[in-house]
Structure 1
Amino acid sequence: MNTKKTRQVRVGQYILGGGNPVRVQSMCNTDTRDTNATIAQILRLEAAGCEINRVAVPDMEAAQNLGKIKKGINSPLVADIHFDYKLALEAIKQGVDKVRINPGNIGAADNVRQVVQAAKDKGVAIRIGVNAGSLKYLKEIEGKPNLTSFEWAEIMTREALDQADILEKLNFKDILVSLKADDLPRTIAANELFAKTSDIPLHIGLTEAGSFLSGTVKSSIALGTLLKNDIGATIRVSLTEDPVLQVRTAYEILKALDMRKFGPDIISCPTCGRCRVNIAQTVKELENRIYSDKELLAKATGLKIAVMGCIVNGPGEARDANFGIAGGVNEGLWFIDGKAVSKIPQADWIETILNKIRERNAF
């Protein structure tokens, strides 16, 4: 499945929008002035599959450090900047691939022209970010606590279009837009309305989605709804968690929608009183082993692996997988491509699966 045929925008080695694959993005929580810590985190994110990485640029020291960071990583680098056009100019000079800055918030028209010219010269894209909590049109909302999601969407879309218009009047087209709220219906409505109005590709996500459980649920519903309607060129799952978990969650959403393949599809039962093996521990260790080994991860991508706990649903699910185990009492029936092969003790489950993955060619 590809997304709506918006205009195409290059960010580093990726072409975003226009039916290209949806790319996974995250944001570092390190101090950008700390070169080693920021590079180390981005390399961890890249290993987890993150394709575009954003860093905060709160001051000139951080901006001037972006070149060093860029040299130490492999993915496109995005500079997140607010209000100060000089930081944007320095970030572009340092070699970033995209700048997140709202042109209406950086002062005089000449400031915007300077940023646009620098971005044109270096082939740098600009993302406009509209968040429900920091709208220019907040005065219209004051005293109206019961605005509908569509009314919110109209205000957010109008602000995004106003900001984009500033750039387009300067003949700058390499634009992406994000419209985010912590509220699921507002986020969906705003992105749907913008997508009907403009051909600018969208970076989608919920802002301040929350903890791992609640944030994953809300993000899955919101992003899944938008992606299913062909809306979204890049995605970020914003969780109050290690950014690596944000990346893993984003891929699970894309995999569930059959939009990207990254890593295996591991299915496992929730367990009940019939279960006589430790499914939870097995699945957790299996995932950790696969996702911490780049070569193993490549070979496991696209595979369906079933780890089931009993003889009721276990054999059917295991038979439907590339590799599957249906648990018994401290052992399990081992299936390969739908055929029962042998019984193996639980202590051997993980290594049996991993060895079989190693024998396969990468997807």
Structure 2
Amino acid sequence: MIDDWTKVTSYFGERLRVDGRLFSDVLLDTFEEHEVSTSIVLRASGGFGLRHHLRTDQTLTMSENPSVMVVAGDSRSRIEALLPRLAELQPRGMLTVERAWAMRGDVTPEPMPEELNEATKLTMYVGRHDRVAGRPAYVAICDLLHRRGVAGASVLLGVDGTLHGSRQRARFLDRNLEVPSMLLAVGAGERIEEVLPEVIPLLRRPMITVERVRVCKRDGALLARPHELPATDGAGLGLWQKLMVYTSESQLHDGLPVHRSIIRRLRQTQARGATVLRGVWGYHGDHEPHGDRFTQWGRRAPVVTVVVDTPQGIASSFDVIDELTGEHGLVTSEMVPALQYFDVGQPRRGGLRMARHRY
């Protein structure tokens, strides 16, 4: 059964505290208390926010206060009831709310909603210990998606999270086998629908969401620009957009990894922020699935760069990204129906009521 789903994502610095406790712990305790079906804490390797303070794994600032991205999802009614509490808790950063569809538990493939016909982002939450024929499940799934012609996939390891409502936290000197990882895949809606019957049996306890996206670029080829959205919907609620750029550490622009070039250039513009997530396995286009060895950390790792802004801001950021991905990368765009910014001592900007706009 495909359920109506709502996804909420929080962006902030890792050292952010609430009443003396790390905000990430406060968030995950809240999700556990309310039995939110899935959540994952992703530690970023770089990025900047509204204040344009650069954090990268090449600087001391990054090691002291890396960016963090927390993604959680459940039924629309459960997340909407929780949103006021989440907004009350968050002192700084950004909160976004997005629509999705979910398949979980003992699922059987069903026809996709019509909205997903253009292109689909498939997200799977997989435990680190899950195995298929002796290999990590995410490796087996990436190989399958690649063989079936899905445009790309990236695997991101979580450091904390909930899966089917149960809290799992990464610990020092622990194998952290139950901590969820997130596998993001992008492809044509019909291709995703065709491959799901093969993917589902590979998952011990399926937790899958699907969302509508547009594939803008693939391996340097421009396929389409992001949708031109108005600033607000018919009810006056703000509309936002998100770009996701899938590259790897080994892909360069003028001698720099593409994602570092993107962050540098966007930071020089009026972009509101960007977040870089380093993966452990993945592929895009015709490239074979790959990852890193412990002796080669960072050399071939897949990288996902996330940019969220107003439609006008996204149009400007896409021009920069288009130039920097002239030879490499997979670039997607999607609508974000609600967003709110938080800063200590400043009025909140945006709102958490989801806008509606057909496009």
Q: Same fold by TM-score, threshold 0.5 exceeded?
A: no
Q: What TM-score do the two structures reach when normalised by structure 1? A: 0.25
Please state which structure has a larger fraction of its residues in strand: 2
